Amino acid sequence: MKKSALINSHLSHLVSTLGHTDEVTFGDAGLPIPDSTQRIDLALTLGVPTFLETVKVWLSEAQIEGIVLAEEIKTKNPQLHQSLLALIEQSTTQPIHIEYVSHEQFKSRTAQSKAVVRTGECSPYANVIFQSGVVF
C-alpha cells in the first residue's frame, strides 16, 4: 500500500503523469465538467469531501507553479479564498503565480485540464486550476 497521503489511485496516477505546465482543475459539486475532459469524481454527499481537504492532499503530492481562480471568489467566498491561499503558501517555498479570470472564463478553461476533480463542496466558487511545476 502507498505510504504517502494520497492513496486514491486515479489521483495518484494523474499526479505521476503530469508534465510542466499541465493543468488540473479541482471543483465544487456544481462545477460543470466538459465531456472531453477526464472526470475524477470524489463527491460522496453534500460537503464530503470538502474542497480544502481535497486540495490539501493534492498539494502534499503535486508540485505547482501557478493557480487560476474565478475573480468572483474574492467577494462571494472570501473566507474560502483566504484559506486556499494560506494552504498553498504553506505547501511550497517557491513563488506561485495567481491568475484571476471571470467565472465564465474559468469554466471554459477547464476544457484544457488533464482532469477535473469533483469534490462534495457546496460553497460558491470553490474551484481552482492548478498549473503543474517542476521539482528542480
Q: What is the DSSP string of 53-109?
A: HHHHHHHHH--EEEEEEETTHHHHSHHHHHHHHHHHHHH-SS--EEEEE-HHHHHHH
Residue 103 known to bind ligand: yes
CB 60 within 8 A of CB 136: no
Residue 77 known to bind ligand: no
Query: Can you tell me the distance from the alpha carbon of 88 to that of 55, in angstroms, rounded to the nearest whole number?
Result: 9
| Marked catalytic residue, from 10, 20, 81, 97 | 20
Residue 8 known to bind ligand: no
Q: Is 20 one of the annotated active-site residues of the chain?
A: yes
Residue 125 known to bind ligand: yes
Residue 13 known to bind ligand: no
Q: Provide the annotated active-site residues.
A: 20
Residues contributing to the annotated binding site: 28, 103, 125-127
Residues contributing to the annotated binding site for substrate: 28, 103, 125-127
